[in-house]
Chains A and B, each alone.
Chain A
């Protein structure tokens, strides 16, 4: 099915099942420990051995030799495969750093060997017996040492320099965001079986097709000979988008031993071995007239990446969020040999809104304006960097106004409220996140018992895919949700969008819609009726005169239909599709110790039709929670001498815990966007992490009167500047 013009009224609009607050269909499995994650697939292949990886102990250089004699002779060891045993493995286009092979070391904890043994303990201990001799070179990971490379601006409209120089009110500040790690709770893990030239990998992947292609490329196999399965994923946040070393090492171990091998990346290896969100240094310049209308907006970003990567483009939202006639947007990427910086939840916008939304707050104060009103005044219905392009739907101003009302926003003066030992502050911020969609396929199979089975290689990384896909099929086929079984994450199923970039929910439900339309057409043909006149309801199909049960249609064998949705250019070229939010936060900062506690958080989101208010809300509060981490604690510490991230485990890289998170309220504006998909839905999973950190930062400023422009906002950055007590 081609989606080449805005959706009209269609069968998904009934909202008998879609749009309803159904709890997760896989809930009973997850809450009882019965949902099998990758490392737990003990059932899938007989005789599994244990693999354990060895990571490089230097950040850059060469391996001169590896002595594996003791490791090979250790009890239970079946194979030792080292990076010197092979040339560098071919790299898939999605990977920036190579995953294995050859003598060169490009980053700390790069995988350089795998030991396979009968037990986990044997494999782990034998790994420690490998003796490696390195030639180490000095590497760097420190962005502040870099000379920013010259780059063409992404947008240069009007006359930025003149407008900025002549404006009555201006802001020119530098902000920084640190490197962050996904820290999903399930480590990267795979079971691999390499048998008769064919490879099957049971893993933890957000993108089945990408992993399948990448495995074929990396291991020089035909794609047809590779199978990937990943039905349950213990969190991804972008960290499981691209093939990782766990799958490669398990496959190599299996090839070497002729047995299935399972391997998980040890937690302390994950940060430097896999990917992270790059650190950024951002200069933001804003200029406004005395009424608060923005005249000029400049955003200049610097981040780092291994050669060939993209870094963290913190300017991405600045092209589209606020209207200003004069803009200069520049994104600079410094290349260095380093652990791979790559996508982490809302890549670009998450880091960009952390700073832009502080700058907007500072600017509102300079103008003497309420920050809610300042943002509303500078709203735009066209893309400022390309005014020919309209937003399909943009209700940001309502988010702001509605949020201010619900929250009880009073725009208090900085450092003006105190309760006992606590300084109380309010902060707010806007949020923007694009809403892309990509080709997505599905298969539906009507069974003789009246059930429908959905098959697609879509993944559920906690996002609610199982549930919203079940709702989609139930809605389309007129069934209760219990009559739909959703099967995901298997490369034998039709290729879907996968999970990433906030495109998964919108794309995969649209693909399933297309497959259901195809099944409805098949049924119409059987009944010799016009598909448009059929009414699917309560497990039956009605054509005005007769009613036929769906079960009876499949009594001679299942009915199978498959299709995919393909999105036309109008969706991305003529219109800009995006999601918006306004965030409000109340903080209490201890007047003596500077400790920050959050008291309440509110998000008002404009994100199209909400397919399931329970799972969508959880996506948003999950994003808000991660953003609290970004605001107050998350920071990969760069050891600039050794060029690695030093705090590479969950004890030293702190993420929010229960005690950090207050009451969270989420309001959806619930407005269909027919330009998005046939279901008029958009993504919401990344929107939730956008803007929130700045709302927290602004609330801390409002409580204390101390402005911090470097994240995370930890005590050392402001304790000496707190008001006298």
Chain B
């Protein structure tokens, strides 16, 4: 079989979702990941591609209030979803407190993992607030903020520059400021 006589059928599909508050209508190759839809089709390049295989967390975005690795998800599966990317969290002129804390605590160096870290950091605080337990939660009925909880929950976001302990300081401060 060559590519010419492959079975006929749709290889693309229409999808509509909301990104950072704006409705987006796209017709996409079924193989396009949510990450590539954001970066290559919508021009939101703040979400990063570190591995394209769910191994690094650089592509972390929020979908319907939950963080996901957007490289592990096909865009056409997101019909009707509400997506928030780093661009929807804050802008250079209007920083989110987490972005501001990352800057002040130097929670990054090269910056490539940073949008994913910030999306995850915000999600982690929310997960703790909602009482969602993690692997290190001692009492499943009482989930509370701790350094260990943050370290555990942030561990899907790799930072090869090694800014972890600075990020922890930033996240701690944002939590304390709430």
Does B43 belong to the interface (CB within 8 Å)? Answer: yes
Within the assembled complex, what's the spacing in Å between the Cα atoms of A122 and B104?
43
Chain B residue nearest to A26 (CB atoms) is B111
Number of A-B contacts (CB under 8 A): 206
- Candidate in B100, B111, B154 with the most chain A CB atoms within 10 angstroms: B111
Expressed in whole angstroms, the minimum distance between the Cβ of A75 and any Cβ of chain B is 7
Report yes or no: B92 in contact with A32, Cβ–Cβ below 8 A: yes
Within the assembled complex, what's the spacing in Å between the Cα atoms of A622 and B95?
25
Expressed in whole angstroms, the minimum distance between the Cβ of A630 and any Cβ of chain B is 12
Chain B residue nearest to A232 (CB atoms) is B111
Report yes or no: B106 in contact with A23, Cβ–Cβ below 8 A: yes
Does B10 belong to the interface (CB within 8 Å)? Answer: no
Chain B residue nearest to A664 (CB atoms) is B165
Given A32-B86, A462-B111, A650:B56 Cβ within 8 A: yes
Which one, B36, B106, B154, contacts A24 given CB within 8 A? B106
Within the assembled complex, what's the spacing in Å between the Cα atoms of A122 and B102?
38
Which one, B4, B52, B92, B112, contacts A185 given CB within 8 A? B112
The contact string, 1 if C-beta is below 8 Å from chain A, for chain B 126-160, is 00000000000000000000000011101111111
Within the assembled complex, what's the spacing in Å between the Cα atoms of A614 and B103?
11
Within the assembled complex, what's the spacing in Å between the Cα atoms of A237 and B103?
22
Which one, A29, A75, A237, A658, contacts B167 given CB within 8 A? A658
How many positions in chain B have a CB within 8 Å of any CB in the partner chain? 64
Within the assembled complex, what's the spacing in Å between the Cα atoms of A656 and B113?
14
Residues on A with beta carbons closer than 8 Å to the beta carbon of B49: 39, 187, 264
Chain A residue nearest to B51 (CB atoms) is A267
Residues on A with beta carbons closer than 8 Å to the beta carbon of B155: 657-659
Given A618-B163, A649-B53, A461:B110 Cβ within 8 A: yes
Report yes or no: A70 in contact with B163, Cβ–Cβ below 8 A: no
Report yes or no: A32 in contact with B36, Cβ–Cβ below 8 A: no
Report yes or no: B103 in contact with A31, Cβ–Cβ below 8 A: yes
Report yes or no: A235 in contact with B45, Cβ–Cβ below 8 A: no
Residues on B with beta carbons closer than 8 Å to the beta carbon of A267: 50-53, 55-56
Q: Which of A1-37 contact B (CB under 8 A)?
A: 23-24, 26-37
How many positions in chain A have a CB within 8 Å of any CB in the partner chain? 71
Chain B residue nearest to A27 (CB atoms) is B103
Expressed in whole angstroms, the minimum distance between the Cβ of B15 and any Cβ of chain A is 15
Q: Is the interface of B mostly helix, strand, loop or mixed?
A: loop
Within the assembled complex, what's the spacing in Å between the Cα atoms of A120 and B151?
35
Does B48 belong to the interface (CB within 8 Å)? Answer: yes
Q: Which of A632-668 contact B (CB under 8 A)?
A: 649-651, 655-659, 661-664
Report yes or no: B106 in contact with A183, Cβ–Cβ below 8 A: no
Residues on A with beta carbons closer than 8 Å to the beta carbon of B92: 28-29, 32, 34
Does A184 belong to the interface (CB within 8 Å)? Answer: yes
Within the assembled complex, what's the spacing in Å between the Cα atoms of A264 and B48?
12
Residues on A with beta carbons closer than 8 Å to the beta carbon of B50: 185-187, 234, 267, 650
Residues on B with beta carbons closer than 8 Å to the beta carbon of A497: none
Expressed in whole angstroms, the minimum distance between the Cβ of B28 and any Cβ of chain A is 9
Within the assembled complex, what's the spacing in Å between the Cα atoms of A69 and B4?
11
Residues on B with beta carbons closer than 8 Å to the beta carbon of A549: none
Report yes or no: A185 in contact with B55, Cβ–Cβ below 8 A: no
Expressed in whole angstroms, the minimum distance between the Cβ of A186 and any Cβ of chain B is 4
Residues on B with beta carbons closer than 8 Å to the beta carbon of A75: 3
Does A303 belong to the interface (CB within 8 Å)? Answer: no
Given A39-B49, A657-B155, A658-B155, A30:B162 Cβ within 8 A: no
Residues on A with beta carbons closer than 8 Å to the beta carbon of B53: 267-268, 649-651
Report yes or no: B168 in contact with A34, Cβ–Cβ below 8 A: no
Q: Which of A590-642 contact B (CB under 8 A)?
A: 614-615, 617-619, 621-626
Report yes or no: B3 in contact with A73, Cβ–Cβ below 8 A: yes
Residues on B with beta carbons closer than 8 Å to the beta carbon of A658: 150-152, 154-155, 157, 164, 167-168
Report yes or no: A33 in contact with B46, Cβ–Cβ below 8 A: yes
Q: Which of B86-113 contact A (CB under 8 A)?
A: 86-87, 89-92, 95, 99-100, 102-104, 106, 108-113
Within the assembled complex, what's the spacing in Å between the Cα atoms of A36 and B112?
10
Report yes or no: A73 in contact with B4, Cβ–Cβ below 8 A: yes
Given A29-B92, A31-B102, A661:B162 Cβ within 8 A: yes
Does B73 belong to the interface (CB within 8 Å)? Answer: no
Within the assembled complex, what's the spacing in Å between the Cα atoms of A267 and B113?
15
Residues on A with beta carbons closer than 8 Å to the beta carbon of B40: 119-120
Expressed in whole angstroms, the minimum distance between the Cβ of A21 and any Cβ of chain B is 9
Report yes or no: A32 in contact with B52, Cβ–Cβ below 8 A: no
Report yes or no: A621 in contact with B166, Cβ–Cβ below 8 A: yes
- With A32-B95, A185-B161, A650-B50 given, can you name 17 additional A-B contacts, CB distance below 8 Å? A31-B90, A31-B95, A31-B99, A42-B45, A185-B56, A185-B58, A232-B110, A234-B111, A234-B113, A235-B160, A235-B161, A462-B111, A614-B106, A615-B109, A618-B163, A624-B162, A657-B154
Report, nearest first, the 9 A-B pairs whose CB atoms are least far apart: A33-B46, A625-B162, A234-B112, A462-B110, A30-B111, A462-B109, A622-B162, A40-B45, A650-B55
Q: Could you show 21 A-B contacts with beta carbons less than 8 Å apart?
A: A28-B92, A31-B99, A32-B89, A39-B49, A69-B2, A73-B3, A182-B160, A184-B110, A185-B112, A187-B50, A232-B110, A232-B111, A235-B109, A235-B110, A237-B160, A615-B106, A621-B162, A622-B162, A650-B50, A658-B168, A663-B165
B residues lining the A interface (CB < 8 Å) = 2-4, 29, 31-32, 36, 39-40, 43-53, 55-56, 58, 85-87, 89-92, 95, 99-100, 102-104, 106, 108-115, 118, 150-152, 154-168
A residues lining the B interface (CB < 8 Å) = 23-24, 26-37, 39-40, 42, 69-70, 73-75, 119-122, 125, 129, 182-187, 232-237, 264, 266-268, 461-464, 614-615, 617-619, 621-626, 649-651, 655-659, 661-664
